[in-house]
Amino acid sequence: MKTATTFAPEHTVATVCPLDCPDSCSLDVTVQDGRITSIDGSEANPVTGGYICAKVRRFPERLYGADRLLYPAVRKGPKGASSFSRVSWEEALELIAEQMLQARERWGGESILPYSYGGSNGLLTQDTSDATLFRRLGASRLARTVCAAPTGAANQALYGKMPSVSYEDFPDARLIVLWGANPSASGIHLVPYIREAQRQGARLIVIDPRTTPLARQADIHLRVRPGTDLPVALAIHWYLFEEGLADTAFLAAHTRGAERLRERARPWTFERAAVEAGIEADALRAAAEAYATTSPALIRCGWGQERNRNGGSASMAILALPAVAGKFGVRGGGYTMSNSASWGLSRTWIGSDEPATRLVNMNHLGRALEDGVPPIKVLFVYNSNAAATTPHQALVLKGLAREDLFTVVFEQVMTDTARYADVVLPATTFLEGYEIARSYGTIGLRLGKPVVEPAGEARSNAEVFGELLQRVGLWREGDSTGELEEMLDVLARLPEPIGTDLRERGAATPPNGGRPIQFHDVWPLTPDRKVDLFPEAFEAEAPAGLYGYQPDPATAEFPLALITPASERTVSSTLSELPRPEVRLLMHPTDAEARGLAEGDAVRVFNRLGDVRCHLAVGAWIRPGTVSLPKGLWRKHTANGYTANVLCPDTLTDLGGGACFNDARVQVEKISS
């Protein structure tokens, strides 16, 4: 089926950006002679407001670049050498079907592991026919935990993922707390709303180990040591409770567990928390006072604070603050967390029931490939660049190099993971197919449509998984075939009027105009409709108990915390194929001086898991004791072919089984370049 129709020589097509970014921009895409010449923001979505990020403006370079995968291919050289011969789709799919069936026959369905995460991040390209295929095969299941597992668990346990404050309501806040979030890179359309609030007199508090662009504009910047948000948040709770500033009426009416939270907060005086976090106790007190005494007060909770051993309890303690301080019920008050659950959609379109097969935590990909029982014999990677984005990279690469592993990588470009494939399959981008984009910053649901014909022989996920279902003999009457049919099928299964709105207008109308006031328009979706400030079920799961603090893993040998924040050049590792300025490790001047290092030095960043070789940038915009490399690098970006993930442990967060990327502790030394 051809997806795009024949167009006039130059015209503009309206669509939406579905990438893993909270903003979900509406786009105007200009096409000339069947090729995209430019991509810009449109006014269709007021939050987009006619502008987009530089990353997606460059997307045509991905579409038509040298790294784009155009044909199916099979490996001809050693694993990882990126040497392939072109084959037909027929041959490629037949080979994959045969390998999956053989593995299932010999080792059981669990020897097949599907691996996927962000990708195009919409409702069509994941958890549709792919889920049907792997469920019917009885494949191992994947716990999607590289991101948002701890914040998701916290938000679910406390509030049942109640819809949260949308960007448009930030100007109503008199105090904004940006906690582990850097919208200047990771969701740029929030920034003007924060600036507008500031123009109207709002104060800004930023809690981040780096002096981010908004930290520079903040009234208070708590430059915390990574992983110490839990003591900081608990100290604010303790202050609220002890000073009589907790909203006792709200707590009595709408919450349970407040006393248990209060108990756990008790040890955390400002002084003690400040020592742990490496900040001034007075600054912490000032932040707590401002929060307690200002309304509307709004916390934008990001993901920076979740990626460590305390990430679950920390996120929980942060999200509990507006309940204890009584900040709900007014526009511009409450919290903002992921809004992806705010439509209340359950994926009823996945046909088959989920089997109770082995569940592999995706942060343990390396371990699973090393010693899984039964062994993993077929790895099917799509919507992910696992070799670059998963912790304990050395173990992941070792697993991918296994001669007895059959790896399929279904991708748009030749990523670090695709290089290890036995079969590579070319995928369409969101500009060449349909997608249902669900925003997670604002509350939005929009239909993306094909703007141009697929490049080369690229196919959509729906087509490929649909065809594989047939080839393994698991296709059933009623299963959709092809992308258009799958899209219509999903639209038909969405609750009305969402499906009709998307079909007819390309956008669904969100409840409450997309701007819910928490505890006025929306309420917790917990079983008893109350905020559960002490979700008992987690008490046993968390190694130090709920709200229990696990100390910094730094040692004398590896004293520096390595963090990997989102960069403005990529979305995760998507677009990393494009040229960028040389990547450097950022270090504070005092740390550089202590090691006799200077700007531009060739350095080795190392710990027991591996090392990264690159050059050094020295700057005071990171706190002492912490160093930083950008998230989303590819192996080509460093001198020795490893990214930060070679230094990141595959340990899990206290709650939710999330990734501990920011628990990497390292040392840095000079090398002769």
Ligand X SMILES: Nc1nc2c(c(=O)[nH]1)N[C@H]1C(S)=C(S)[C@@H](COP(=O)(O)OP(=O)(O)OC[C@H]3O[C@@H](n4cnc5c(=O)[nH]c(N)nc54)[C@H](O)[C@@H]3O)O[C@H]1N2
Residue 55 binds to ligand SF4 (criterion: CB under 6 A): yes
Site string for ligand X, 599-638 (x = CB under 6 A): --------------------------------xx------
Residues 6+ apart with CB under 8 A from 21: 53, 186, 187, 441, 571
Instruction: Scan residues 159-198 and list those touching ligand SF4 (CB under 6 A).
Output: 188
Q: Which of 31, 52, 232, 341 lies at the binding interface for ligand SF4 (CB under 6 A)?
A: 52
312 counts as binding ligand X under rule CB under 6 A: no
Look up residue 103 and give its two tokens: 């593995």
How far, in Å, CA of 642 to CA of 289, rounded? 44
Q: From the list Mo ion, ligand SF4, ligand X, none, which binds 298 (C-beta under 5 to 8 Å, kind-based)? A: none
Q: Which range binds ligand X by CB under 6 A, 396-404, 513-521, 557-565, 580-588? A: 557-565
Closest CA to 427 of 14, 62, 13: 62
CB-wise, 443 or 571, nearer to ligand SF4? Answer: 571
Helix, strand, coil % over all residues of the chain, rounded to 5: 35, 20, 45
Q: Which does 56 bind (CB under 5 to 8 A by kind): Mo ion, ligand SF4, ligand X, none?
A: ligand SF4
Cβ 513 to ligand SF4 shortest distance, Å: 21
Those residues with Cβ within 8 angstroms of residue 228's Cβ, 6 or more apart along the chain or in another chain: 273, 276, 277, 278, 310, 552
3-state secondary structure of 572: coil
122 or 257: CB nearest ligand X: 122
SS3 14: strand
Query: In angstroms, what is the minimal distance from the CB of 107 to Mo ion?
Result: 32
Residue 319 φ/ψ, nearest 5 degrees: -65, -20
Q: Which does 103 bind (CB under 5 to 8 A by kind): Mo ion, ligand X, ligand SF4, none?
A: none
- What is the size of the binding site for ligand X (CB under 6 A)? 62
d(CA 190, CA 32): 32
The binder of 229, among ligand SF4, ligand X, Mo ion, none, by C-beta within 5 to 8 A per type, is ligand X
Q: Taking CB under 6 A as the criterion, which residues in 559-618 touch ligand SF4?
A: 571
Contact 270, 235 (CB under 8 A): yes
Q: Which is nearer to ligand SF4, 574 or 643 (CB)?
A: 574
Give the residue, chosen from 169, 276, 411, 501, that forms a contact with ligand X under the rule CB under 6 A: 411
The one-letter code for the residue type at 595 is R
Is 435 buried (19+), middle (13-18) or exposed (0-12) by CB count in 10 A?
Answer: buried
Residue 185 dihedral angles phi and psi, to the nearest 5°: -110, -40
Backbone angles phi, psi at 375, to 5 degrees: -60, 150
At closest approach, how far in Å is the CB of 2 from ligand SF4?
Answer: 26
Q: Contacting ligand X (CB under 6 A), which of 24, 99, 164, 186? A: 186
Least Å distance, CB 507 to ligand SF4, is 15
Q: Please list, in sequence order, all residues whose beta carbon lies within 8 angstroms of the beta carbon of residue 210, skipping any fewer than 6 positions away.
A: 182, 223, 563, 565, 621, 622, 623, 626, 628
Residue in 59, 50, 30, 182 with CA at minimum distance from that of residue 574: 59
Binding partner selected for residue 650 from ligand SF4, Mo ion, ligand X, none, CB under the kind-specific 5 to 8 Å limit = none
Least Cβ distance, residue 53 to ligand SF4 (angstroms)? 3
Nearer to Mo ion (CB atom), residue 147 or residue 175: 147
Residues 117-176, interacting with Mo ion (CB under 5 A)? 147
- Inter-CA distances, 442 with 9, 45, 157, 337, Å: 35, 11, 21, 10
The reply on whether position 566 binds Mo ion by CB under 5 A is: no
Interface with Mo ion (CB under 5 A): 147
Interface with ligand X (CB under 6 A): 20-21, 117-120, 125, 146-147, 179-182, 185-187, 207-210, 212, 224, 226-227, 229, 302-305, 307-308, 382-386, 389, 410-413, 415, 427, 461, 563-568, 570-574, 631-632, 644-645, 648, 661-662
